[in-house]
Structure 1
């Protein structure tokens, strides 16, 4: 099945050993840091420099890949994430030290009042093991043997909606491995590691899902790098800024747009296809969150809460096929030929 939006196949990439790619990307990040520290001496504007960084980090994973497809996710994601969010979003206070501090603060909750953090870490690890057990014994048997088979069904058919929910649930449960690793780290160190998720299945709206419940580590990181600087900026500077994307609402939508482009890059690098399905998925959810800002902030209760949870789940299931389709269409876990040639 091909994408209904766009289906462009990319040229075959150059495949290099993982060790060589790791060294290459380390050198690239080092060069980025040197350029950022010396941009004034080089007489290059901040926008031009970071835009150039983003373009370079977008091109490299499209042309050069690792033999292992899962590794390509990391190679495509981390450098481009660093470059793009400092290039396209109005994050004027971005520095590498600020990035590391923000990253640390998103992972460790130092304000947690609980004393027995070691025991809480073990419970967190046990929760992660439980998620993986539910995945293996409960969800996997219900999934189709051919993952891309669901794409042959009409979008709103019972089979398509059911499989979309199950694959989305699988993606969430797989990340239970994060609970295991962070839980064990907390049990050993005593640091209170921030939970990556907060019962996302109980979200009452798109904004509740993305802002409070899904991947809280990335959410906190984006908040510290994208939104907080605007709150600390000089009022006169804020007044001089013009355009929708300089507002809080605009920054939020722009974060989703950049996230959509970021996921498209991963798909292009791993699946060698440009479909724009992930870009549409994140942009659509960004618009939904923007509209959701106009709703009352009061938390729903009782039957109203149940109704909103069901509506949110329905929205995720209906739109989730956009996110899943490129990965289901391509054999994601298949290993590329180990060769230095273009295959």
Structure 2
């Protein structure tokens, strides 16, 4: 793979994406939210969907397709309707609009930010205060009492903030270094164990990517960001896993774009109490479709538009979890909190269900996309580039 050309395309894509968001920010000043703004923002949405086609690598193309092709496009749809993280009163300054529109981040409410002006501080307080006023997942799954102590303790507060680089990330890097040499041995290992290793590989990779983004945002903007993962291996229910522990930005972006409209549309027919159950299934259906789109981006071998041939494994995975989560929420509504499984029982059952369904449907879809083979090849290329760079530095130092 031509990593040099890939890096150049990567930089070009993000420059174009930033310029596109500057246009959207300007549009927001002159066109009120509604149909007119939606029409004006349609071309930027199309551009964001096309930009990831210029990348074919896993480590550059994968996150880019997820950030731009999914999250940013959904944020712009909400922005056109006057909703979501990009909409506030007063409007966000461009310095905050850009990172919020392009990256999977959510601001915490803080009293002051050291690198920003007083006016920008007021924007942060107003915006992040609004975002933290109500937890989206509590609207999605109304059992507000099922908030675990681990979730509360892991939240970043004004008194004590998590360090982006901590022992957890060091451990993940160490585990990742141990996993890579096992890949050439896959012929002698059990197929299920290989899929299990793929699960660890994916989770660690996502944690590290989001951690680097948080570190970059902290250094550039002086902002503290909410972590996207919250110890998902400690989940005690599907509601706990999908709502409070796994990729929280996706939950927050799907709630106003899919969940709320479905609830509002179906409430008159079946009542708001049970409309949420239908909305959960609809939300997971859209999530499955968007995952299929991301898989299309990352499985390509050429920087061109090709035929979309979804495998539907990922779609089935999210449909299954959507139905199971809807059943779980329905039971909790019916029981009204009078009875629930003990944590010692619910935790292993939930973790076992997550792993079994992931190994059955989710990971095989990635295997068919050749994600892991491409990832290993890219790591080898990056390692060779690192050796060449180190050799160049060493020769320059020796020459001096």
* 1:183 to 1:130, Cα distance in 2 relative to 1, 3 A: farther
1:285 and 2:327 equivalent? Answer: no
Q: Is the Cα–Cα contact under 8 Å of residues 125 and 179 in structure 1 kept in the other structure?
A: no
How far apart are the structure 2 equivalents of 1:312 and 1:190? 37
Classify the secondary structure of the residue corresponding to 2:331.
coil
Among candidates 41, 61, 66, match of residue 55 of structure 2: 66
Greater displacement, 199-208 / 317-326: 317-326
Q: Output aligned runs, 1:3-152, within 5 Å.
A: 17-33=9-25, 44=35, 57-59=48-50, 61=52, 64-66=53-55, 68-80=57-69, 81-84=71-74, 87=77, 93-94=83-84, 96-98=86-88, 106-108=106-108, 110=110, 117=160, 120-121=162-163, 125-137=166-178, 139-140=179-180, 143-145=182-184
Query: Cα–Cα, structure 1 residues 126 and 225, in superposed 2: closer, same or farther, change >3 Å?
Result: farther
Contact 1:256 / 1:285 at 8 angstroms: preserved in 2? yes
Q: For 1:79-134, what per-residue CA distance to the aligned partner results, in whole angstroms no more than 9, with x for missing partners?
A: 3322236549997624734496895983436597967536x527x62222123223
User: 1:245-324 to 2 correspondence within 5 Å?
Assistant: 247-272=275-300, 274-296=310-332, 298=337, 300=340, 304-321=342-359, 322-324=361-363
Deviates more, 1:65-74 or 1:44-53: 44-53
1:178-218 Cα offsets, whole Å, 9 max, x none, are 45775798799997643332221121222211111112344
Equivalent runs, 1:187-206 vs 2, <5 Å? 193-206=225-238
Residues 173 and 71 (structure 1 numbering): CA distance in 2 closer, same or farther, change over 3 Å? Answer: closer
Whole-Å separation in 1 of the counterparts to 2:86 and 2:221: 25
Q: Is the 8 A contact 2:105 2:225 kept in 1?
A: no
In the alignment, structure 1 residue 332 sits paired with structure 2 residue 364: no
Which range moves more in the overlay, 71-80 or 180-189?
Answer: 180-189
Q: Deviations over 1:39-62 (max 9, x none)?
A: 679x9566767777656644554x
The answer (yes or no) to whether the contact 1:197–1:215 under 8 Å persists in 2 is yes
SS across alignment from 2:349: helix
Query: Contact 2:260–2:279 (CA<8 Å) still a contact in 1?
Result: no
- Deviation, structure 1 residue 290: 1.5
**Cα distance between partner residues in 2 of 1:226 and 1:309:** 29
Matched, 1:172 2:194: no
The range that moved more, 171-180 or 102-111, is 102-111
CA drift of 1:221 comes to 5.2
- Select the structure with the greater relative contact order (CA < 8 A; seq sep ≥ 6): 1
Whole-Å separation in 2 of the counterparts to 1:162 and 1:145: 14
**Structure 2-normalised TM-score?**
0.56
How many Å separate the matches in 1 of 2:217 and 2:40? 37
**Bigger share in helix:** 2
Deviation of 1:293 after TM superposition, in Å, equals: 0.6
How many aligned residue pairs are there? 298
- Structure 1 residues 90, 290: closer, same or farther in 2, change over 3 A? farther
Provide the rounded CA distance (Å) in 1 between the counterparts of 2:35 and 2:260: 26
Alignment gaps of 5+ in structure 1 = 1-14, 151-157, 232-237, 336-343
Q: Residues of 1 paired with 2:183 and 2:269: CA distance?
A: 47
Deviations 1:203-245 (A, max 9, x none): 12222111111123443455577668999xxxxxx58976789
CA contact (8 A) 1:161 1:318 kept: no
Preserved contact between residue 229 and residue 245 of structure 2 (Cα < 8 Å): yes
C-alpha distance in 1 between matches for 2:38 and 2:267: 15
Q: How far apart, CA to CA, are the structure 2 residues paired with 1:59 and 1:40?
A: 26
Asked whether the equivalents of residues 91 and 229 of structure 1 are also in contact (C-alpha less than 8 Å), the reply is no
For residues 106 and 354 of structure 2, the distance between their equivalents in structure 1, rounded to whole angstroms, comes to 26
Cα distance in structure 2, aligned partners of 1:44 and 1:275 = 35
CA distance in 2, matches of 1:274, 1:184: 34
